[in-house]
């Protein structure tokens, strides 16, 4: 008898919510603007990342997962902007994993999700370099607000919590059981 994932209920709930509750277009666009601001903040902390993106200025990258589409324009400053919906994309990156639970599990374990890539090979290589080398130092940003010691303590607590969630997901999915 096949065993069902303990997270299948969550996946079913997520599926029903995403098919019945669609946010208004203005909310989607505002969320995308905030994501672009965050991505640009992270990119500005890595000069080599912006240098690489300057070489790709004017190109459009389409990110796709389930019913979520996100088009980004690479600017002459080596940053990102929302692209027009009608703009043709030079590169399409489609996450092939449909399950949000599986995506969270792979993210927590440090594994990149499977992505179908269509389009410009050089642009894809630059995006891959960004994914491999650019990281957001949340602790450093938090230290500017609350100071070094509290930011470090919060960072340690978050890392311990992420590790506990990772261990729980591993045990719950059956991949960490002893024989």
Residues 85 and 158 in one domain: no
Note the pTM of the prediction, 2 decimals. Answer: 0.71
- 149 domain-assigned: yes
Neighbours of 108 (CB within 10 A): 16
- What is the band of 119 on the pLDDT scale with cuts at 50, 70, 90? very high
Domain residues for the domain of 63 are 23-98+112-134
Tell whether the model's pLDDT for residue 96 goes beyond 60: yes
H or E, element range at 97: none
- What is the band of 163 on the pLDDT scale with cuts at 50, 70, 90? confident
CATH of the domain at 127: 3.30.1050
- 4 domain-assigned: no
Residues 71 and 47 in one domain: yes
List, for residues 35-56, the tens digit of each pLDDT value: 999 999 999 999 999 999 999 9
Whether the Cβ atoms of residue 62 and residue 92 lie closer than 8 Å to each other: yes
Give me the residue label for tokens 């993210």. 107
Residues 44 and 126 in one domain: yes
Residues 64 and 120 in one domain: yes
């Amino acid at each position: 008898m096949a065993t069902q994932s303990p997270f299948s209920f969550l996946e079913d709930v997520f599926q029903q919510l995403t098919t019945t509750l669609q946010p208004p277009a203005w909310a989607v666009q505002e969320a995308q603007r905030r994501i672009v601001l965050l991505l640009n903040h992270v990119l500005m902390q890595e000069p080599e990342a912006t240098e690489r993106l300057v070489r790709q200025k004017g190109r459009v990258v389409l990110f796709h997962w389930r019913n979520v589409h996100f088009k980004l324009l690479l600017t002459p400053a080596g940053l990102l902007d929302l692209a027009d919906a009608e703009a043709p994309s030079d590169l399409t990156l489609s996450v092939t994993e449909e399950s949000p639970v599986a995506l969270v599990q792979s993210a927590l374990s440090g594994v990149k999700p499977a992505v179908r890539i269509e389009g410009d090979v050089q642009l894809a290589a630059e995006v891959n370099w960004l994914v491999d080398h650019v990281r957001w130092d949340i602790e450093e940003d938090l230290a500017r607000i609350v100071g070094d010691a509290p930011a470090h303590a919060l960072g340690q607590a978050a890392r311990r919590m992420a590790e506990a969630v990772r261990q729980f997901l591993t045990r719950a999915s059956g991949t960490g059981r002893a024989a």
